[in-house]
Amino acid sequence: MAIAPDAAPVRVLVVEDNRDICANIAAYLEKHGCILDFAYDGLSAMQLAVTNRFDVIVLDLMLPGMDGLRFCRTLRADSDVETPVLMLTARDTLDDKLKGFAAGADDYLVKPFALQELHARLRALHKRSCRNGDALLTVGDLTMNRSTLQVHRAGRRVELNPAGMKLLRRLMEEAPAVVARDDLETLLWADERPDGDALRSHMYKLRQAIDRPFDRPLIHTVHRIGYRIAEDGQ
């Protein structure tokens, strides 16, 4: 009898150089509605992790190119990616586990493991992340954490001034809807609006930070009405 998939699919990046293990994981997790991507070395995994959104990363410790500990430390320290990491390894000593947690892993599963346990741990990490993720706004590859006020695009940190932060937050909260110019001006200046088109200047600076370094724009002008932020330009 087929097993019904979970209600909410989990996007999982599996980083494992043993393709037989990958095949077993894929056969089980895809049956439960998970959406999987695979990387077979640490460098390829890093590229995927910083340019795509995943709910959980399943990470083998022993990898070619970049081992799991270095991958995890780099992911947390240099790329500021907070995706939960479940580390897989044959190393089962307390010292090994502590090193994994110190590198930034969120959970640890020792090989050989039962696929049912792997799936249960993935679901638990995803649920915990969702509860903590209410503060996270996401549009395409752009994220804003409303608690820490950190903004990232494609894994790269974006620095904004206070006005830019206010504008971006409102646009992302309303995305993909259009936010009227009048609403954005009220957000910045309330009833004491400056002379001239100061909003245009602030939006120009915001675009320079959010869109200019990247291949495609997210911020779009709706002529004579306002602005919107979305992956498409419609």
Contacts 24+ apart (CB under 8 A), 141-144: 141/51, 141/52, 141/53, 142/172, 142/210, 142/218, 142/229, 144/168, 144/169, 144/172
Average pLDDT over residues 111-125: 91
Radius of gyration for the chain, computed over Cα atoms and rounded to the nearest angstrom: 21
The DSSP code sequence of 54-102 is -SEEEEESS-SSS-HHHHHHHHHHTS-----EEEEES--SHHHHHHHHH
> Across the chain, what does the average pLDDT equal?
87
CATH of domain 140-229: 1.10.10.10
pLDDT for residue 131:
62
Residue 4 has pLDDT above 50, yes or no: no
Average pLDDT over residues 39-44: 93
Residue 7 has pLDDT above 80, yes or no: no
Phi, psi (deg, nearest 5) at residue 226: 170, -145
pLDDT for residue 8:
55
Domain assignments of the chain as residue spans, ordered by start = 11-133, 140-229
Q: Which residue has the higher pLDDT, 66 or 194?
A: 66
Residue 24 has pLDDT above 70, yes or no: yes
Residues 61-101: pLDDT tens digits?
999 989 999 999 888 877 667 789 999 988 878 888 888 88
Class of domain 11-133: alpha beta
pLDDT for residue 86:
95
Q: What is the pTM of this model?
A: 0.56
